[in-house]
Amino acid sequence: MGSLNIENVKKAFGPVEVLKGINLEVTDGEFVVFVGPSGCGKSTLLRVIAGLEDSTSGRVVIDGADVSATPPAKRGIAMVFQTYALYPHLTVKNNMGLGLKQAGTPAAEIDRRIGIASSMLSLEPYLARRPAELSGGQRQRVAIGRAVVREPKLFLFDEPLSNLDAALRVNTRLEIAQLHRRLKATMIYVTHDQVEAMTLADKIVVLNAGKIEQIGGPMELYNSPANEFVAGFIGSPKMNFVDGARLGETAKTIGVRPEHLTVDAKSGAWMGTVVHAEHLGADTNLYLDCEKAGLITVRIFGVYNAEPGATLYATPDPARTYRFGADGKVLK
Amino acid sequence: MSTATHSLPRTIGAHVVLLTYTVIALFPVIIVIMNSFKSRAAIFGAPLAPPTPNTFDLIGYTTVIGQGDFIHYFQNSLVVTVASLFFVLLFGAMAAFALSEYRFRGNSLMGLYLALGIMIPIRLATVAILQLMVMSGLVNTLTALILVYTAQGLPLAVFILSEFMKQVSDDLKNAGRIDGLSEYTIFFRLVLPLVRPSMATVAVFTMIPIWNDLWFPLILAPSEETKTVTLGAQLFLGQFVTNWNAILAALSLAIMPVLILYVIFSRQLIRGITSGAVK
Ligand SMILES: Nc1ncnc2c1ncn2[C@@H]1O[C@H](COP(=O)(O)OP(=O)(O)O)[C@@H](O)[C@H]1O
Ligand SMILES: [Mg+2]
**Long-range CB contacts (within 8 A, 24+) of A53-58:** A53/A11, A55/A9, A55/A10, A55/A11, A55/A19, A56/A10, A56/A11, A56/A12, A57/A8, A57/A9, A57/A10, A58/A6, A58/A7, A58/A8, A58/A9, A58/A10, A58/A21, A58/A22
Residue A174's Cα: distance from chain center in Å? 14
CA distance A189 to chain B (A): 16
Over residues A140-182, the pLDDT tens digits come to 999 999 999 999 999 999 999 998 998 899 999 999 999 999 9
Q: Are both A150 and A246 inside the same structural domain?
A: no
Q: Which residues of chain B have pLDDT under 70?
A: 1-6, 68, 269-279
d(CA A228, CA A242): 11
Eight-state DSSP code of residue A311: E
Cβ separation B275–A132 shorter than 8 A: yes
Long-range contacts formed by A289-292: CB under 8 A, 24+ apart? A290/A314, A292/A242, A292/A246, A292/A247
* Total domain count, chain B: 2
Q: Which of A178, A202, A230 is a domain's end point?
A: A230
C-alpha angle B261/B265/B268, rounded to 5°? 150
pLDDT for residue B51: 85
ipTM of the complex: 0.89
Report the alpha-carbon distance of residue B3 to residue B11 in Å, rounded: 11
Distance of alpha carbon A284 from alpha carbon A303, whole angstroms: 6
**CA A190, CA A10: separation in Å to the nearest integer?**
18
pLDDT digits (tens, 9 = 90+) for A13-44: 989 999 999 999 999 999 999 999 999 999 99
CB contact under 8 A, A50 and B180: no
User: DSSP string spanning A162-216?
Assistant: TTS-HHHHHHHHHHHHHHHHHH--EEEEEES-HHHHHHH-SEEEEEETTEEEEEE
Instruction: State the average pLDDT for chain A.
Output: 94
Whether pTM > 0.80 for this model: the answer is: yes
Q: Are residues B166 and B40 in the same domain?
A: no
Domain range for B181 is: 68-274
Gap from B104 CA to chain A (nearest CA, Å):
11
Q: Which of B98, B89, B86 is nearest to B165 (CA)?
A: B98
Same domain, B5 and B129: no
Same domain, A276 and A314: yes
Q: Are A117 and A149 in contact (CB under 8 A)?
A: yes
Alpha-helical runs (H) found in A202-294: 218-223, 228-233
- pLDDT tens, position by position, B128-176: 999 999 999 999 999 999 999 999 999 999 999 999 999 999 999 999 9
CATH of the domain at A278: 2.40.50.140
- Cβ contacts (< 8 Å) between B179 and chain A: which residues? 73, 98-99, 102, 146
**Contact (CB<8Å) B175/A131:** no
If asked whether residues A224 and A256 sit together in one domain, one would say: no
* Three-state SS at B211: helix
- Quick check: is B195 in a domain? yes
Whether B94 and B20 map to the same domain: the answer is no
Nearest Cα residue to A289 out of A302, A307, A279, A276: A276
- Domain range holding A305? 237-324
Domain identity same for B50 and B89: no
Last residue of a domain, one of A162, A197, A230: A230
Distance of CA A327 to the CA centre of its chain: 25
Which residues sit with Cβ closer than 5 angstroms to ligand 2, an ion?
A 43
Contact between A185 and A22 under an 8 Å Cβ cutoff? The reply is no
Asked if residue B81 and residue B33 are part of one domain, the reply reads no
pLDDT in tens, A284-332: 999 999 998 999 999 999 999 888 999 999 999 999 999 999 999 999 7
